[in-house]
Amino acid sequence: MLKHVSFLTRELSTTLAFYEQLGAVTEKRVVTSEGYGRAVLSLGGGRLQLFEVAGEMPQPHPHWAEHIAIHVRDLQQLLPVLRDAGVRVTRDLQLSPGGRDMAFVLDPDGRQVELLEAD
């Protein structure tokens, strides 16, 4: 069973706001003993852990195969809201292989995020 996925971020507040807009709930936000901002978000049974780092950060791979997938409700309504907020859509609304609406967007740090219509 997956415990969590952990990512680095340049701006914790901006990245938290992005994932909260997708339905995540921030469970914990602290500063580690090393001085990093850390947050844990709940995403429908899974967890996403974010660490804020200063300076240069490795770039995510631009290909869609490396991504986090999130079930969301009302994807057809959410996608225009995200676009209006400046979120870059990298794969427009289409049917997934399983027959659900899906799209890919970039999070504030350039990671691919698959949005998949929830049941």
Give pLDDT tens digits for 29-72: 999 888 889 999 998 888 999 999 887 777 888 787 789 999 99
Task: Print the domain residue range for 87.
Answer: 63-119
Q: State the pTM of this model.
A: 0.87
Tell me: do 102 and 70 sit in the same domain: yes
3-state secondary structure of 87: coil
The residue among 62, 61, 38 whose CA lies nearest residue 48 is 38
- Is residue 117 within 8 A of residue 101, CB to CB? The reply is yes
Tell me: do 35 and 81 sit in the same domain: no
Tell me: do 77 and 49 sit in the same domain: no
Tell me: do 44 and 80 sit in the same domain: no
- CATH code assigned at 68: 3.10.180.10
Total tally of structural domains belonging to the chain: 2
